[in-house]
């Protein structure tokens, strides 16, 4: 929903520039694809851009974790969701 809103209001670049954006994107892929919990591939667009690590709060994911389990707790998921909601609320007006 946040993506759709940002695209409709020409704010995608602002959305993509958020410190949690790439981290959230990778976590979403980790938990929703295949058997979940394992980082299967590093996003090709990040590789092409020379980005080998992404961070959010005190967490970091990097290309060396490909093929390994990624632990992401319920508490962390709620914190990340809150950061995304806070962003969306700040853009609605």
User: pLDDT, tens digit, for every residue of 32-79?
Assistant: 876 779 999 999 999 999 999 999 999 999 999 999 999 999 999 999
- 32 domain-assigned: yes
Gyration radius (Cα) of the chain, Å: 14
In a domain, 20, yes or no: no
**CB count, 10 Å around CB of 24?**
19
- The answer as to whether 9 is a domain residue is no
Residue 4 lies in a domain: no
Total domain count, the chain: 1
Residue owning tokens 């602002």: 14
Tell me the Ramachandran region of residue 69: left when phi exceeds 0, alpha when psi lies from -120 to 50, beta otherwise: beta
What region, left, alpha or beta, does residue 19 occupy, with left being phi > 0 and alpha being psi -120 to 50 degrees? alpha
Burial label, 27 (beta-carbon count in 10 A; 0-12, 13-18, 19+): buried
Name the pTM for this structure. 0.86
pLDDT value of residue 51: 95
With contact defined as beta carbons under 8 Å apart, do 2 and 87 qualify? yes
Read off the pLDDT band of 93 (50, 70, 90). low
For residue 7, the cross-strand partners are none
Residue 36 belongs to some domain of the structure = yes
Which residues span the domain enclosing 52? 28-93
């Amino acid at each position: 929903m946040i993506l759709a809103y940002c695209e409709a209001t020409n704010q995608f670049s602002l959305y993509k520039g958020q410190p949690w954006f790439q981290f959230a994107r990778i976590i979403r892929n980790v938990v929703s694809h295949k058997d979940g919990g394992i980082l299967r591939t590093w996003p090709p667009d990040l590789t092409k851009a020379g980005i080998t690590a992404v961070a959010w709060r005190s967490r970091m994911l990097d290309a060396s974790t490909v093929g390994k389990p990624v632990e992401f707790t319920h508490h962390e998921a709620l914190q990340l969701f809150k950061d995304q909601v806070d962003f969306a609320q700040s853009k609605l007006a």
